Amino acid sequence: MGLRIEKPMSRTTQTKTKGWRALTAMIMALSLVAGIVIAEGAKAETIKVRRADNALVKYATDLTAAAEQGKFNSIEEKAVETDRAIQILAGENKNNPVVISDSQAVRDIVAVGVARRIARDEVPEALSGKHLFKLNLETLFHDSRNAQQLNSNLSEIISVLAQFDNKAILLIDPIQALIGPEGAFDGAASALIRDAIKSGNVQCFGASSDVAFQKNVAGEESLAPLFTAIQADQVSNSDSGDTAKANERTNKEEFVGDNVSPDMRELVESSNAPARVKAILQVNDANSAALRETLSQLGIHIEAQLPRFGAMAVDMPTKAIENLAATGNANYLSLDRQVSGLGHIEQTTGDDAMLAQTGNASLDGSSIGVVVMDSGISTKQKSVAGRIVYSRDFTGEGTVEDPYGHGTFVASMIVAKHGSYGGIAPGANLVNFRVLNSQGQGSVSALLTALDAVMANRTAYNIRVVNMSLGMSAVDSYRNDPICRAVRRLVDAGIVVVAAAGNDGKDALHPKVFGRIHSPGNEPSAITVGAANTFGSDGRNDDVVTSFSSRGPTRSYWKDRAGVKHYDNLIKPDLVAPGNKIIGAASPNNELLSENPDLCVDKNTANGKGNMRLSGTSVSAPIVAGSVAVLLEANPRLTPNMIKMILMYTAQSLNGFNMLEQGAGELNVEGAVRLAKLVRADLLSAKVGAPLLAGATPTAQTTIAGQTFTWSQGLLFDHGWGSGSELITKYQAIYGLGVLICDGVLITDGVLIGDATKLTRGVLISDSILRSNGITMSDGVLIGEGTVMADGTVMADGTVMADGTVMADGTVMADGTVMADGTVMADSALRGENTSCMGLE
């Protein structure tokens, strides 16, 4: 069965793959892990550059010279791979090493390690005094408009290298850009480089992904004997840490001029200045005890902390402005000005309200690894590139970039810095698993391989969350669906999987359709997310579920020997989050924008700072995934089932929508973090029925943008809804690993007991309990505002009988068949609903 991201509603055409130019242009930049980008003009100082060397100067970077200048001193090398590369390069047969990794950072680290060893003369005599030149393919291809020009330029480079008396090594990354049948201009330069290697005029150091290497080099009889592969699969934890620290150092900017803003100065000098004023104070250390003491002495009250910006919002006496400015604690002090459309996602989800709570200011998902399974993440998009710690391509296209444009946008919902178009967890680490190609399509096999890679790398990158803004028709029961089963394994291992519900809540003939939840959103262990429409306002009183958001129940099924279908009929989604006309990061020159230019927010997206507007449950899912990362930072001991319970229990039920549309309700980050911090640290050793919280039961209300709402205070099971305080005051067996939340049976003291078999009656008793509003019991019987028969008949505002007979104003799709097999699309509804939306900065 094929796989596709859920297709944008207005998408009508597919453009062709951009070919070798797009492939190489997207991955050519040498973004070394310490945040150092070597300029093309870096020149060797120990090798005299003669007039004839112009081609080498123009098209190559001398990494050894850069190492001699100390530019790589902060990078921790991968010793094993570096040793192996040096061994091969120094061998008598002059074989040529190729570093195999899907991560550009890993390949760069090994290359830098070799250059640094040579610069320090920590190499065998055969390599002493040599220089490693990295070929700048982007510049080379820019100057080579046809095969003849390419070969001419390469011939000049090879001629120069030959004059160095075997003292030069040419680094080509990715090697398939020039060597093999898929090289530039149909492999026009492959024979030229091959012959140069054979003749001894050039020694080559290559790098590539495994798939591309096998196809273009190892699989070619004339090339395979010349190269030796070096497997380098992961970046070490220390590598990741060094990267983050180096990026932090690189991005730090100095303040200039007066440390009080001009309009604040005018206010101080005004004859009618107010007694107190709200201001933004930027400091070096927002948690400094000395700073807090100073603020207290000056009568300054902290209203919110924004440590990611090194800032805090304060309410202060106007007369204290000059005193604070003179203390040396203020980098810059400015008025808390009114700005329209600022930080909508953080505001409306309650993330800002959460950060304002005592002790929460630094909660940003730091150290939590979040896997984005999508169409890639652009390393050129400044809002997300610095958070990528590992990348791997599962499509076979040989790039981890994002020519389609969906994955970069999804990633920005998680990690973009707080501000106009900020994400929820800007401190989280992104693991970029590219499972969708340049047309936004993938396969089940690729997705399964990627899920397996999550298990293999979960420790190295502290992977705790996986976001899947993609899906396929949910035909097979979750008990049989391979993707669902793989997801369950991840959850059993302690990894939270967040899945988009789908964008098939309506079609051309039916304004409201039930039963179109996609796979893996039909998997009970996954957190399945639908889309809410916030109308661009931070307040929540006007929020609704979008018309396109896929509704439950799940219609995946299995057949018995008599051919009778047994539908899963699970209540899904689990909750909803903002997903209509949301603004996020645009990968440069992406496919979605080329086909839908009206989605562009910034005219110039090529500079790595562009934004676009998308809609869909794929936008909603990463908002929840980012929230999960924040929960895990607040309490690392939380299990996936506990997190799912917390998100449901604290959600806001939206009026006018049943549980098949909204699940437990709309995401509430403030309430979720507040509850998560109270859960006891020794959760996994707790006994069933033991106290769950380390403090008093929290007030089940949250205020966002001045509007207060009550939490749902309940939990969805497979066919039921349970509510009551014991869900959060007593430890339930279903909160552990290796069980599903729906595996709960109820006993009279309000404690749910886990059971190895999925039960049909997951009903809680004690202090409250089965709710109406679209709750399913037994084998699909709905009660509440829709009464149902045992075969899955839904009534009330959307009636479905058995396998899809339509009644009333709603439709349930037969057998869960929504899309043609094999189509997975970036789960975007693209333009969304024709309503008000996020304002522009």
Q: Tell me, what CATH number does 109's domain have?
A: 3.40.50.300
333 pLDDT above the threshold of 60: yes
Instruction: Please give the average per-residue pLDDT across 326-342, as a whole number.
Output: 63
Instruction: Specify the pLDDT at position 563.
Output: 76
Domain count, the chain: 3
Tell me, yes or no, whether 587 and 539 share the same domain: yes
Residues 565 and 524 in one domain: yes
Structure tokens at 230: 């070096």
Residues 314 and 422 in one domain: no
Paired sense of beta strands 557-559 and 565-567, if any: antiparallel
pLDDT at 278: 82
- Per-residue pLDDT, averaged over 826-834, amounts to 55
Rounded to 5°, angle at Cα 467 from 465 and 473 = 135
- For 138, the token pair is 């982007």
Q: Single out the residue in 299, 328, 355 at which a domain terminates.
A: 355
pLDDT value at 40 more than 60: no
Asked if 80 and 127 sit in the same domain, the reply is yes
Q: In which element (H, E) is residue 150 found? A: helix 147-162
Tell me the percentage of the chain whose pLDDT exceeds 90.
27
Domain boundary among 742, 777, 812: 777
User: What tokens appear for 577 in the block?
Assistant: 């989050």
Regarding whether 220 and 299 lie in a shared domain, the answer is no
In the predicted model, is pLDDT for residue 27 greater than 70? no
Q: How many CA atoms lie within 13 Å of 683's alpha carbon, on the beta-carbon side?
A: 25
CA dihedral 756, 762, 768, 771 (to 10 degrees): 160
CA dihedral 538, 543, 548, 552 (to 10 degrees): 120
Total H helices, total E strands in the chain: 25, 37
- pLDDT for 599 equals 83
Q: State how far the Cα of 186 lies from the Cα of 193, in Å rounded to an integer.
A: 14
Whether residue 117 lies inside any domain: the answer is: yes
Is residue 291, in this structure, part of any structural domain at all? Answer: yes
Q: Is the pLDDT of residue 432 over 70?
A: yes
Regarding beta strands 544-545 and 527-533, do their DSSP bridges make them parallel or antiparallel, or are they unpaired? antiparallel
Q: pLDDT, tens digit, for every residue of 229-253?
A: 888 854 343 333 333 333 333 234 4
653: Cα within 13 Å, side-chain hemisphere = 20
- pLDDT for the residue numbered 304: 59
Give the Cα separation of 431 and 428 in Å (integer).
Answer: 10
* Residues 689-721 pLDDT 10s: 888 898 899 999 999 888 999 999 988 877 778
Q: What is the pLDDT of residue 837?
A: 54
Whichever domain contains 685, its CATH number is: 3.40.50.200
Residue with tokens 């440590």: 307
* Top-confidence residue, 183 or 124: 124
Q: Is pLDDT above 50 for 112?
A: yes
Can you give the pLDDT at residue 762? 30
- In this predicted structure, the answer to whether residue 841 has a pLDDT above a threshold of 60 is no
Beta bridge partners of 424: none
Give 135-151 pLDDT, tens digit per residue. 888 788 878 878 888 88
By residue range, what is the domain housing residue 304?
A: 262-355
Q: What is the average per-residue pLDDT within 331-335?
A: 79
**What does the block give as tokens for 785?**
């505002």
pLDDT range class, residue 833, cuts 50, 70, 90 = low
CA distances from 130 to 69, 99, 182 (A): 16, 19, 30
384-403 residues labelled b (16+ CB within 10 A) or e (exposed): bbbbbbbbbbbbebbbbbbb
Between 296 and 507, the more confident residue is 296
Give me the pLDDT at residue 661, please. 95
> What is the band of 442 on the pLDDT scale with cuts at 50, 70, 90?
confident
Name the nearest CA neighbour of 140 among 36, 47, 52, 57.
57
Angle between helices 79-89 and 104-119 (to 10 degrees): 60
What is residue 763's predicted lDDT score, i.e. its pLDDT? 31
pLDDT value at residue 311: 63
- Asked if residue 379 belongs to a domain, the reply is yes
pLDDT at 823: 33
Q: pLDDT digit string (tens) for 534-567?
A: 888 888 888 999 999 999 999 988 877 787 888 9
The answer to whether residue 29 scores a pLDDT higher than 60 is no
Give the per-residue pLDDT at 631: 96
Q: 213 and 323 share a domain? A: no
Statement to judge: residues 198 and 280 lie in one domain: no
**Per-residue pLDDT averaged across 87-101, rounded?**
83
User: Mean pLDDT across the stretch 197-212?
Assistant: 86
Q: Which of 75-79, 463-467, 469-473 has the highest mean pLDDT?
A: 463-467
Terminal CA-CA length for the chain: 43
Torsion of CA 374, 376, 379, 385, to 10 degrees: 10
Burial label for 338, CB within 10 Å (0-12, 13-18, 19+), is exposed
How far apart CA 117 and CA 581 sit, in angstroms, is: 51
Report yes or no on 835 lying in a domain. no
Categorize the per-residue pLDDT at 791 as very low, low, confident or very high, splitting at 50, 70 and 90.
very low
Q: How far is CA 80 from the centre of its chain?
A: 30
Neighbouring C-beta atoms of residue 808, cutoff 10 Å:
14
φ, ψ for residue 700, nearest 5 deg: -85, 55
Residues 516 and 647 both lie in one domain: yes
Measured distance CA(790)–CA(584) in Å, rounded: 44
CATH number at residue 279: 3.30.70.80
pLDDT for 777: 31
DSSP-derived secondary structure for 567-631? E------SEEEE-SSEEEE--TT-HHHHH-GGGBSSS--TTS--EEEE-SHHHHHHHHHHHHHHH
3 state DSSP class of 666:
strand
How much is the pLDDT for 820? 27
The helix/strand/coil state of 815 is helix
| pLDDT bucket at 829, cuts 50 / 70 / 90 | low
Residues 592, 405 contacting (CB under 8 angstroms): yes
pLDDT value, residue 711: 94
Q: Are residues 709 and 629 in the same domain?
A: yes
Q: Lowest-confidence range among 100-109, 291-300, 408-417, 740-749?
A: 740-749
Q: Does residue 580 sit within a domain? A: yes
pLDDT at 91 over 60: yes
Same domain, 348 and 438: no
Rg for the chain (alpha carbons), in Å?
29
Task: Please give the residue that has the higher pLDDT: either 443 or 263.
Answer: 443
By the 8 A CB rule, do 545 and 531 touch? yes
Return the pLDDT at 272. 83
Spatial CA neighbour of 570 closest among 737, 816, 757: 816
484 and 570 share one domain:
yes
Integer Cα distance of 57 and 76 in angstroms: 28
Q: Residue 637: is its pLDDT beyond 80?
A: yes
Distance CA 48, CA 791 (A): 83
- Domain assignment present for 796: no
The pLDDT, as a whole number, for residue 609 is 78
Check whether residue 146 and residue 90 sit in a common domain.
yes
pLDDT digits (tens, 9 = 90+) for 257-284: 788 877 788 888 888 888 898 877 878 7
Boundary of a domain, candidates 215, 234, 253 = 234
**Mean pLDDT in residue range 752-772:** 35
How confident is residue 801, by pLDDT bands cut at 50, 70 and 90? Answer: very low
Q: Indicate whether 731 pLDDT > 90.
A: no
Residue 740 pLDDT greater than 80, yes or no: no
Q: What is the pLDDT of residue 163?
A: 82
Q: Does 400 map to a domain? A: yes
Distance CA 150, CA 143 (A): 8
* DSSP bridge partners of 621: none
Q: Is residue 496, in this structure, part of any structural domain at all?
A: yes
Residue 66 has pLDDT above 70, yes or no: yes
752: nearest Cα among 639, 645, 637, 650: 645
Region 572-583: mean pLDDT is 92
What confidence tier does 256 reach under pLDDT thresholds 50, 70, 90? low
294 versus 779: the higher-pLDDT residue is: 294
Q: What is the mean pLDDT of the chain?
A: 75
Question: For the residues 285-307, what does the mean pLDDT come to?
Answer: 78
Contact 462, 429 (CB under 8 A): yes
